[in-house]
Chain A
Amino acid sequence: MTRWTIWRAPMLVSLASALGMGVALGTDGAGDVFSWFALSVPVVVSLAFVIRAYTKERRAQ
């Protein structure tokens, strides 16, 4: 793993989180909707990788 491959995904998730937290602060309506999607990224990524890891294991058995 290079530094780039290690940090690529965390940086994207961090960027989405920061935009999600920031944008809704200064806007209403569309900005709020954008924030819901952007700040969902860390939640969705967590669930997706955990679920993938454990369903893959079951399939392998």
Chain B
Amino acid sequence: MMKASTIKGWLIVHRWTSLVCMAFMLLLCVTGLPLIFGHEIDHALGNGAEPAELAEPLMHRSIDELVSAAERFKDGHVVKFLVEDPDESDVWFVNMGPAIDDPNTTAFLGLDARTSEVLSEYPLDGGLVAILLRLHVDMFAGLPGMLFLGLMGVLLIASIASGVVLYAPFMRKLSFGTIRTSRARRTQWLDAHNLLGIVTTVWLTGVALTGVINTLSIPVYEAWTAPQLAEMVGPYMDREPTPAQTRSAQLALEGAQRAEPDLKLSFMAFPGNTFASPSHFVAFMRGKTAWTSKFLKPLLIDAQSGEVVESRTLPWYATALLLSQPLHFGDYGGMPLKVIWGLLDVLAVVVLASGLYLWAVKAPSVSGWIERREAADGVNDATKRPRRGVA
């Protein structure tokens, strides 16, 4: 049985960890809800790439033709990455920048693989989903914003943990799920807070933990790309860059498929990019099953011959990051899972908001409640009788 002073201590931990992260967690829940359906919202807003129905099925063009088409469409910008559409085999995406080694992305185009027509240009700055995403990821504050939200996530986890510790003493006389509807409004909200809080514990802890891991994605990618990709591309870094006219993304893709027939492309970095070498593509391959599709395997591919020169397996921390992404987004079990994710998000908002209410509307006397408990504990000690079954 927990001592009254211990309960008081945990109440202080629960109150302050919650209050400090409260505003940010409400922001994350509110922006996160539409982001669960970001893909669907993008399609509804016309930002998705929808390949036209063709009267006759056409062969896919060479990837190099698509790259040229993209660079004609966005004059003066170059393709940095080729990205495969996981849902639509007739569409390829390209990520473009002002220069091959420029970290900024200036265009994200969807192209029809059969006609090399540009189907979509993603509104990188102005799109609703893009704005929500920036608010959710870093509040428009870059890496410091991301790391700050990560810290707030750690506080949320501490708040959840202290809430779980407090659950038992609060429920000592109540059966599971009781809401004392005949009591004061604050008591009803307290009961609802305890019920919703305890049933969403695992989900919210999971989403918070994977969210915190995602806030470390930039340092993790740096820690991964710095030693491992550098080790892979290092021996080739002082080679002359392969001229764009003599390299072939199509040959590289075919080489990658030959070397890893059981994998498919996730995305491919172009030569000169920070993810590749001056004379190699790096193809990031993923598996074809639900589980293996979450992991990436980088292949180093000669830019001219398309031969796979080397490959690596991911370090554990990059694997942890890749697994954290679906577990945070809830996008790995079809539309019903997304809907459930959304409902749980709404429950989390109720838990947060009711917690704020419980703090703002002070208990008639928390100290009185604790004093009564202390007195009760004293009686128990005196009579040596456990208080079981009193409720």
**Do B198 and A10 have beta carbons less than 8 Å apart?**
yes
Give per-residue flags for B85-115: 1 if the beta carbon is below 8 A from chain A beta carbons, else 0. 0000000000000000000000000000000
Kindly list chain B residues whose C-beta atoms are within 8 Å of the C-beta of A42. 199-200, 202-203, 344, 347
Kindly list chain A residues whose C-beta atoms are within 8 Å of the C-beta of B291. 25-27
Kindly list chain B residues whose C-beta atoms are within 8 Å of the C-beta of A53. 177-179, 181
Bound Cα distance from A37 to B177, whole angstroms: 20
Task: Say yes or no: is B365 at the interface (Cβ < 8 Å to chain A).
Answer: no
Bound Cα distance from A39 to B332, whole angstroms: 13
Bound Cα distance from A44 to B50, whole angstroms: 37
Bound Cα distance from A32 to B337, whole angstroms: 8
Bound Cα distance from A57 to B323, whole angstroms: 45
Assuming the A-B contacts A17-B203, A49-B195, are A39 and B179 also in contact, with contact meaning beta carbons closer than 8 angstroms in the complex? no
**Do A1 and B388 have beta carbons less than 8 Å apart?**
yes
Number of B residues, CB within 8 Å of A: 41
Kindly list chain A residues whose C-beta atoms are within 8 Å of the C-beta of B246. none
**Do B179 and A43 have beta carbons less than 8 Å apart?**
no
**What's the minimum C-beta distance from A28 to chain B, rounded to whole angstroms?**
4
Q: Which of B179, B326, B332 contacts A49 (CB 8 A)?
A: B179
Assuming A17-B206, A46-B200, A50-B179, what are 12 further A-B pairs, CB within 8 angstroms?
A: A1-B172, A10-B167, A14-B202, A24-B337, A32-B333, A35-B337, A42-B199, A42-B202, A45-B199, A46-B195, A48-B177, A57-B182
**What's the minimum C-beta distance from B143 to chain A, rounded to whole angstroms?**
28
**What's the minimum C-beta distance from B135 to chain A, rounded to whole angstroms?**
25
**Do A46 and B290 have beta carbons less than 8 Å apart?**
no
Kindly list chain A residues whose C-beta atoms are within 8 Å of the C-beta of B347. 42-43, 46
Complex: chain B residue closest to A54, CB-CB? B181
**Do B340 and A40 have beta carbons less than 8 Å apart?**
yes
Complex: chain A residue closest to B1, CB-CB? A3
Bound Cα distance from A53 to B178, whole angstroms: 7
Q: Which of A1, A21, A24, A56 contacts B203 (CB 8 A)?
A: A21
Task: Say yes or no: is B294 at the interface (Cβ < 8 Å to chain A).
Answer: yes
Bound Cα distance from A57 to B347, whole angstroms: 23
**What's the minimum C-beta distance from A11 to chain B, rounded to whole angstroms?**
10
**Do B343 and A6 have beta carbons less than 8 Å apart?**
no
Kindly list chain A residues whose C-beta atoms are within 8 Å of the C-beta of B220. none
Kindly list chain B residues whose C-beta atoms are within 8 Å of the C-beta of A14. 201-202
Bound Cα distance from A26 to B206, whole angstroms: 16
